[in-house]
Structure 1
Amino acid sequence: MYNELRYREFVTHNIFRSCGMNSTFFISKDDSNVPVAEGYDATYNENNKLEWRKNIYSFPPIGTSDGGAFTTVGDLDLFMRALANGELLSTELTQEIMKPQSTIAREFEWGKIINGYGFHFTYDLSGKLIRMYKDGSNAGVAAMFAYYPEIDTTSTILGNQTCNIWELHWKAESLILTDR
């Protein structure tokens, strides 16, 4: 008989701690003793006045497989480096996760985006890979995580309120890629 680990235990042991992500956890949002930023959602009251409300009741009480882990910018950098260096997956699976998995591209005047396993891949007009990234937002939380393989650099924007993380990302990226 084998010892079956629960999802959170498996991910914590085999990903978070394996990468050295010591500030990343699945925690209950009502645990008042954990040093994490609370999320705030922008809402408007009946007088059309902006109010900020805690997002504690917007999600399951503890993280699930589609999100809910609390992390830091530094820990996400550790994760990406462990992934890119083949420390989390087999060589074959590392190669697969680090490339697009679709033939369908969203075309733009500056290039294209193609989806992969968990990541999106952005190419310029010449077909050169610019970044692989993952982004998302929900009530009171937002994240934009990008990896630039050519210069082995990560850029992460984390927000604990309703905000335009994409605008912040573009500003940071313009600084990162200035000398490119």
Structure 2
Amino acid sequence: MLRVAIAVMLLFGALPAQATEAGWALLRNGGHVVLLRNAMTTGTVEPPNFDIEKCATQLNLSDRGRQQARKIGALFAARAAPVEKVLASRFCRTLETARLAFDDQVVEPLATLDKPTEATAEVDVAAILDIIRNYSGSDNLVLVTHLENIQALTGASAREGEALIVGLQGERLHVLGRIVF
């Protein structure tokens, strides 16, 4: 019984590494879309006085999250994963993740990638799908967004700072690979 338990732990412990390597293999070839959840934050709930224009009223990256964002950028460079464009939610934590990870010159804020509300969720998901559907670059497109958008688009979850490489299958998004940072 102990051997079975150890084998199961080893198997599941190896899965993130295998998923990460498969994800890097996809990105090296370019032409893919990456949904990247913002790096680690200082909490879990948006403060009640939230204002999109004021970072002091939002959840922000923790020091560990800033390190994680820099690591993301360094690994994209080290793994030769070319990035053509980075679109990010206007929330401070997503913009900071994008700017620390990638060249600030290629980062564009985009309201469609903001954390969805009941009133905007359906329209935002449709707009994000249009961006993905119409992307035809030879390098990779990175969309830095929130868990809610990632779940609505793929049905999958993502940790803070995790990347999902996605592609269209018919009208639905399919997760092709993952990278855990």
Same fold (TM over 0.5): no
Structure having the higher strand fraction is: 1
TM-score where L is the length of structure 1: 0.24
Ranked by relative contact order (alpha carbons within 8 Å, sequence separation 6 or more), the top structure is: 2
Structure having the higher helix fraction is: 2
Q: Which has the larger radius of gyration?
A: 1
TM-score where L is the length of structure 2: 0.24
